[in-house]
Structure 1
Amino acid sequence: MVERNHSITSGSYHKRTVADEPVTSILPAGDIPFDPTHEFDQDEEVLAALGYKSEFKREFSLFTTFCVSFAVLGLLPSFASTLYYGMGYAGTAGMTWGWLIAMVGIQSVAFSMAELCSSMPTSGGLYYAAAVLAPPGWGPLAAWVTGWSNWLAQITAAPSVNYGASAMMLAAASINNPDYTPTEYQTFLLTVLLMIIHSFMSSMPTRWLARLNSYGSIFNVLALFAVIILILAGTDRESRGLSRFGKSSQVWGEVYEGMDYPAGLRVLASFVAVIWTMSGYDSPFHLAEECSNANMASPRAIVMTSSVGGVFGWVLQLVVAYTVVDVSAVLDSDLGQPFAAYLIQCVPEKIAIAVLALTVIAGFAMGQGCMIAASRVTFAYARDGCLPGSTFWARVNKHTRTPVNAVWFNCVLGCLMLLLIFAGEVAIDAIFSIGGLAAFFAFTTPIFIRVFFTRGNFRPGPWNLGRLSIPIGAVASAFVALMIPILCLPATRGANLTIDGMNWTVVVWGGTMLIALGWWIISARKWFKGPKVNIQHMMVGREAEVLEGKDATPSGSLRDDAPPPKAVDAGVLE
């Protein structure tokens, strides 16, 4: 990068190098690309050092980035959609002290991810980090596996959230009219309608998206407070001959027998609800190229989202745990939506309808945030040639400066997945249950590499964990390694195990990842070399070769064994 006092006429340049930037790049530590007709700001400079040109308007701030992320987290709708697992596997004990234990591991993942984001603030996020940090020769495979797992989580997020919102809408209709029973066809059409609305909204300019999601996130927070107050003030347990709130000895001490496993394993299995609820804080990573002061604001937004979500999520868990009347009745209700069944138990019908309405609106905002985050991931992977038709999906609309093609690509895929509604509850649940597992596998892969394999090729960004980096990363890695097999356990075993009771997560996620690995072995390993830079600027001094999928050098100069500089075709480093 040319300093602000450079002199073009004299041919004298004061150069900056990649090593001068607080980022870990796939570029060798040579000169930063620059455009002599354009003065780079700090964010453009950092992104150029990572190997990418700025294609978006940076109209997200720390607050608006947090708003999108918190909307994707969607505490209220996420809790409502996963109550079956959180309460059903271990009862109220899993919701109280179980949540606290799970949050130790989840916060470790979030903090380690934030450190990576500060060091590599790109839309590719975790996939880029896995490629850079992997040992020499393993970067492309690490990026490939991380990218496909993350993309799988992203493209299933919006349809699953909208499916949950549709189920709550139709459950509210059933409460209001007991003679009405929702059909699969109605659920499908309503969910597709939400997908289309969110796709139009996600195609808007960045400035509008930032403002819209600010409103959505503020509503999410207000709705959460309103629901907590409505439940606490409106509970009518006393009319059923019960105390106003449950006894602490029962709430904290009784582990519900919702699975054919020991109590400790049932509590661990209930973490699937926590993991799914707390799986949206990676969004600031994917929005980093649209955020001002990205290598500080984006990691802060990650930490803010996970911390605020963890605290208020636990409060909501406590409220429900202390007011539920009959766990079995909640799980077996004909309403088909456990959260709606719980509300009917503990509050009057009008309050139940009001709470469901607030939850549905919050779910709408959550689905919108999921669509935005997923489109940025699709764009980033298409930019690097990972997807069929990548050239088309990687286009940025010249009017909105957003990846509109990627938005609608995800919309079509989501609507196709929703056809599984007609195959029955087991089929549709098998698709959407993989979100938490796929996301946390992708979250932790670069963290695991950072902890156990990185040898000097990680340059911490301005937001970092210092000496706690390795210990926290080790806790995050151990937590996810423990939870991956737990998340694949069926609720029953032995003679009690049926097709309907089978946990198909391992088949859907594992099968998809095996297909991706098969593609890698047969074809992709020959042409996929990790993240591709797309800089189209001049280089100061000399051209430098891009080390795709290899480790970055921390020394501030090219390695001794680096190949000699080579010319690049049409000004593009590939």
Structure 2
Amino acid sequence: MANSAHEKASSVTEDPEVMGEREIGQDDHGQTNQDRVDMSRMGKVQELRRNYRPLSALAFTVILQGVWEVLLTATYQGLVDGGSAGLIWSFVWTWTGMTTVIFSLAEMASMAPTAGGQYHWVSEFAPPSIQKPLSYFTGWMSTLSWQAGTASGPFLVGTLIQASAVVMYPDSYEPMAWQGTLMVIAVTILVWALNIWGAKGMPLLQNIMLGVHVLGFIAIVAVFWALSPRESARVTFLEFRNDGGWSTTGLSLMVGQISAIYACICSDSSAHMAEEIQDAGKTVPRAMVGAYLMNGVIGLVFIISYMFAVTDVPAALEDITGYPHMWVFGQAVSSGGVAALNTIPIVLIFAGTLTFNLSTSRQTWAFARDNGLPFSSWIAKVDKKLQVPVNSVTLTCVITILLSLINIGSDVAFNAIISLNVVSLMITYVCSIGSVLYRRVRHPELLPPCRWSLGRWGVAINAGGLLYSLHAFFWCFWPEGTPVTLESFNWASVMFVGVSALSLVDYVLRGRRHYSGPVVLVEGYKAQ
């Protein structure tokens, strides 16, 4: 099977000097000649349509990452462990540290622009003796991360709608967990339909949402500065809180940085769309870095503006909706205005859910294509008419719905699953960046050529990215506060170990016989 795939990929390769780098074949799914060269080198067959161009690839990544939307709706733990000052400064150091991670991932995406992302890079760059089990583990962790993260979008949309209902009808509406779950299911079904039958229109939609992303940011920041009461600069920037009961404020800050980390991850989303992006070897890394820098600047302005408007942290944390930003909105506008403002993040998070599902289904599809998952042959099927991995999209939506059902019985268990998004994603960063750093130091001559290179700064940036990923991975396991109870315990640690054990069992029983690692299809592998 591997040799057959390599032969098919090689058959579409043309000489770049003859064809020209930007020429597109009529029957090649929108590929440029350089895309053909890259796919052939990796031994992959082009099955998906390359609908995305530079602007839509940038928009896709910006909307999925959605930094200011996350900072608005998912900073509860940061306010508990650090307060306003803690959130601002943890965002600064997190964004700075993650920059080395993003740059490292962007270069690998240029070297090997494939939907597989991290597990493929590990397979290609890790020591040959461990590439197979390490890439298999990375593939499982990447699948776990993206599947868990995909469930967070519909959950936020559903609970934000409930929060608006609470504000509008405080005396008659009581939010129930099962209602939120029904909204998650409804959102997921809509996402499923749009991502299967509306795939061709997604680039245009992402471009539109990029405009909404910027305009929504301007509108909410304007409300904070024009209508909200403001805290003093001294309190906003210098007064740290330790409401989690930790022994020191410094430890509290380390625990609370999870809010900033959650806001800064997922720039690698466009890497998993690489086989649908035209001229991916150049466009994908530019989209990753451009989106990260753009969202970072917007995020810094937003978090400072937001924290100036949080004049009473305990009151914001105790808001009846469960969302501190709803309390902040309520200090500036009427209940109707609060609901109207809350519509902005609802719309944008829904758009982010669409893109998250796309990226997740492509990563899952790619891993199945390399026989990394049970029932891989079914998951890896692509609808030839739609040029969409329908089975993978469907599986991703089914998993989201199944995870949402847990919320009916225990929101603690559901939140633990969501936190796996950060933990498992960080370990994929560790494995992939560690692998390329090894290759760069030990065998730099074997690194494939790329059009977005770190050059002489490669070792330093890779080392920084590896160290920061390890730092973030460690702190993601800590609970919100002390004393630790069954409800406050961070169950992500238990679930991470459980899934790691499951991947080991699957590797022993199935994977070691059926999974070779994508590197075996790469040109020059045997020579290396």
TM-score normalised to structure 1 length: 0.83
CA shift in 2, pair 1:353/1:194, >3 Å: same
**Residue 254 of structure 1: CA displacement?**
1.2
**Residue 293 of structure 1: CA displacement?**
1.1
Q: Please tell me whether the aligned partners of residues 234 and 351 of structure 1 are also in contact (alpha carbons under 8 angstroms).
A: no
Q: Please tell me whether the aligned partners of residues 325 and 346 of structure 1 are also in contact (alpha carbons under 8 angstroms).
A: no
**Residue 475 of structure 1: CA displacement?**
0.9
1:253 maps onto 2:238 in alignment: yes
**Given the alignment, which residue of 494, 500, 524 partners 2:487?**
500
User: What secondary structure does 1:492 align onto?
Assistant: coil
Q: Please tell me whether the aligned partners of residues 14 and 37 of structure 2 are also in contact (alpha carbons under 8 angstroms).
A: no
- Return 132-141 or 453-462, whichever deviates more: 453-462
- Residue identity (%): 25
Q: Deviations over 1:251-300 (max 9, x none)?
A: 11111113214222222222211221122211110111111111000000
1:462 maps onto 2:451 in alignment: yes
1:63 maps onto 2:63 in alignment: no
User: What secondary structure does 1:197 align onto?
Assistant: helix
Hey, what's the Cα distance between the residues in 2 that align with 1:16 and 1:134? 30
Stretches of structure 2 lacking an aligned partner (at least 5 in a row): 1-12, 22-26
Alignment of 1:182-221 (within 5 A): 182-204=175-197, 206-221=199-214
**Given the alignment, which residue of 345, 355, 359 partners 2:341?**
355
Hey, what's the Cα distance between the residues in 1 that align with 2:210 and 2:377? 33
Corresponding residue for 1:342?
328
Aligned residues: 501
Alignment of 1:428-439 (within 5 A): 428-439=414-425
Q: Deviations over 1:196-234 (max 9, x none)?
A: 101111113543121122222321222122111122222
Give, as a single letter, the amino acid of the residue that structure 2 aligns with 1:186. Q
Q: Please tell me whether the aligned partners of residues 57 and 206 of structure 1 are also in contact (alpha carbons under 8 angstroms).
A: no
CA shift in 2, pair 1:40/1:198, >3 Å: closer
Hey, what's the Cα distance between the residues in 1 that align with 2:362 and 2:31? 26
**Given the alignment, which residue of 238, 263, 271 partners 1:277?**
263
1:91 maps onto 2:83 in alignment: yes
User: What secondary structure does 2:351 align onto?
Assistant: helix
Corresponding residue for 1:130?
122
Corresponding residue for 2:10?
none
Q: Please tell me whether the aligned partners of residues 158 and 368 of structure 1 are also in contact (alpha carbons under 8 angstroms).
A: no
Corresponding residue for 1:241?
none
CA shift in 2, pair 1:273/1:552, >3 Å: farther
Stretches of structure 1 lacking an aligned partner (at least 5 in a row): 1-13, 23-34, 238-244, 533-545, 563-574
Hey, what's the Cα distance between the residues in 1 that align with 2:196 and 2:430? 30
Q: Please tell me whether the aligned partners of residues 140 and 528 of structure 1 are also in contact (alpha carbons under 8 angstroms).
A: yes
Give, as a single letter, the amino acid of the residue that structure 2 aligns with 1:247. S
Corresponding residue for 1:481?
470
After superposition, the CA RMSD in angstroms is 2.4
User: What secondary structure does 1:490 align onto?
Assistant: coil
Corresponding residue for 1:472?
461
Hey, what's the Cα distance between the residues in 2 that align with 1:15 and 1:426? 54
**Residue 336 of structure 1: CA displacement?**
2.1
Corresponding residue for 2:5?
none
User: What secondary structure does 2:266 align onto?
Assistant: coil
User: What secondary structure does 1:44 align onto?
Assistant: helix
Q: Deviations over 1:78-109 (max 9, x none)?
A: 22331102222110112222211111111111
**Residue 190 of structure 1: CA displacement?**
0.7
1:513 maps onto 2:513 in alignment: no
**Given the alignment, which residue of 287, 294, 303 partners 1:308?**
294
Alignment of 1:212-231 (within 5 A): 212-231=205-224
Corresponding residue for 1:450?
436
CA shift in 2, pair 1:127/1:345, >3 Å: same
CA shift in 2, pair 1:87/1:346, >3 Å: farther
Larger radius of gyration: 1
Q: Please tell me whether the aligned partners of residues 379 and 406 of structure 1 are also in contact (alpha carbons under 8 angstroms).
A: yes
Q: Which has the higher helix share?
A: 2
Hey, what's the Cα distance between the residues in 2 that align with 1:499 and 1:39? 52
CA shift in 2, pair 1:170/1:205, >3 Å: closer
User: What secondary structure does 1:396 align onto?
Assistant: coil
Q: Please tell me whether the aligned partners of residues 82 and 273 of structure 1 are also in contact (alpha carbons under 8 angstroms).
A: yes
CA shift in 2, pair 1:40/1:256, >3 Å: closer
